[in-house]
């Protein structure tokens, strides 16, 4: 019997801004508009250069949702000569491509035209569904309305964008809410075939947030949720857990396929108190399974040609390189 395979991506993490229109009660990422609220191009390129030297294949661009709606932010964009955060991100994605690293952007809720514009320079994109339930943790967060997030995921499917979504576990949802959320994702994939992976991420309390003292999901419930996901989701969708937050050694046997992006040269800015394990340490975490590096665009989407002409040379080159390394 062949060894079970657990995949991961070697990435760099680029938080372009922490300004966000949402006010999620668990979030420690969001910050007010201030002097250093926008990552400058030189700093982005310096991180990309570190990633290039470390052999990274994925540039994870993330930022607060629609920061232009927050008073004072646009002045920082204008100082860089930019008209929007999405156009700024697009320009930096081109820099990443020049560095030989494939962009993957998590930009929050977007319209179909906005997704299409970013898809030209992104090998894949993502948006956490989090939950189909309306929970108090999302009060004051218009971008966390379930129907709005579902429409963004559906729009990505119509555009044939290889996509990542997922659930945030332990923010006030019930077991049935998790089931409904997973069934919603499964239905979207059956319609469009674009979901690469579903992240099952445990809520991690952070200081100075409304939910700093809240409890998180137990290992038992976490494992059962992974098993539920494997039961509901189509087989080709990978189930991912974050190796800096989750107890991988206990949870991987429950049905995990992927450990997501792991960075050798940047921190997890969403959960800064939880450092990434070294890439070498992942071998220990997966136990008897085979650890396999992947790109942010999965092989089946490369075979289908689900990427733009801008990305084509780099996608093919990196794909060929990984195949050679793994032979």
Q: H-type helices in the chain, by residue range?
A: 41-53, 73-79, 85-98, 112-119, 146-158, 175-192, 219-232, 248-251, 279-285, 299-304, 312-326
308 SS3 class: coil
Contact 135, 15 (CB under 8 A): no
**CA 67 to CA 223: how far, in whole Å?**
36
Distance CA 124, CA 306 (A): 9
Smallest CA-to-CA distance from 187 within 199, 198, 176, 203 is with: 198
Per residue of the chain (327 residues), give pLDDT as tens. Answer: 577 899 999 999 999 999 999 999 999 999 999 988 999 999 999 999 999 999 999 999 999 999 999 999 999 999 999 999 999 999 999 999 999 999 999 999 999 999 999 999 999 999 999 999 999 999 999 999 999 999 999 999 999 999 999 999 999 999 999 999 999 999 999 999 999 999 999 999 988 899 999 999 999 999 999 999 999 999 999 999 999 889 999 999 999 999 999 988 877 777 877 788 888 888 888 988 999 999 999 999 999 999 999 999 999 999 999 999 887
Domain 5-326 belongs to what topology? TIM Barrel (3.20.20)
> Could you tell me how far CA 178 lies from the centroid of its own chain?
19
Cα dihedral 190→195→198→203 (10° resolution): -110
Query: What are the phi and psi torsion angles at 290 (to 5°)?
Result: -95, 125
Inter-axis angle of helices 85-98 and 41-53, to 10 degrees? 30
Give the long-range contacts of residues 258-261, CB within 8 A, separation 24 or more.
Answer: 258/6, 258/7, 258/8, 258/197, 258/294, 259/6, 259/7, 259/8, 259/285, 259/286, 260/8, 260/9, 260/197, 260/199, 261/8, 261/9, 261/10, 261/11, 261/13, 261/58, 261/60, 261/104, 261/296
pLDDT of residue 1: 59
Please answer whether residues 34 and 213 qualify as being in contact, where contact means their C-beta atoms are separated by less than 8 angstroms.
no
Alpha-carbon span 59 to 124, nearest angstrom:
10
């Amino acid at each position: 019997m062949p060894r079970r395979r657990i995949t991961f991506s070697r990435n760099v993490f680029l938080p372009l801004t922490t300004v966000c229109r949402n006010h999620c009660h668990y979030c420690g990422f969001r910050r007010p508009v201030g002097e250093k609220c926008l990552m400058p191009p030189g700093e982005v390129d310096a991180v990309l250069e570190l990633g290039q030297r470390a052999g990274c294949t994925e540039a994870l661009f993330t930022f607060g949702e629609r920061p232009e709606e927050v008073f004072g932010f646009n002045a920082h964009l204008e100082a860089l000569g930019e008209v929007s955060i999405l156009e700024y991100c697009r320009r930096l994605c081109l820099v990443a491509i020049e560095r030989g690293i494939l962009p993957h952007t998590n930009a929050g809720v977007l319209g179909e035209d906005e997704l299409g514009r970013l898809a030209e320079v992104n090998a894949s994109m993502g948006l956490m569904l989090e939950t189909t339930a309306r929970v108090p943790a999302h009060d004051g967060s218009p971008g966390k309305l379930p129907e709005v997030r579902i429409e963004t995921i559906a729009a990505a499917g119509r555009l044939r964008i290889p996509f990542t979504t997922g659930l945030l576990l332990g923010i006030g949802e019930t077991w049935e809410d998790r089931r409904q959320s997973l069934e919603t994702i499964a239905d979207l994939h059956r319609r469009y075939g674009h979901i690469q992976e579903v992240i099952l991420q445990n809520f991690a309390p952070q200081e100075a947030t409304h939910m700093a003292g809240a409890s998180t999901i137990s290992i038992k419930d976490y494992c059962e949720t992974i098993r539920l996901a494997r039961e509901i989701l189509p087989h080709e969708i990978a189930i991912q857990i974050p190796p800096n937050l989750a107890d991988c050694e206990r949870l991987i046997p429950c049905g995990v396929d992927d450990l997501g992006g792991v960075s050798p040269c940047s921190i997890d800015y969403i959960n800064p108190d939880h450092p990434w394990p070294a890439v070498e340490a992942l071998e220990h975490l997966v136990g008897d399974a085979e650890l396999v590096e992947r790109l942010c665009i999965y092989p089946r989407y490369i075979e289908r040609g689900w990427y733009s002409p801008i990305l084509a040379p780099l996608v093919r080159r990196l794909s060929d390189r990984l195949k050679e390394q793994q032979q």
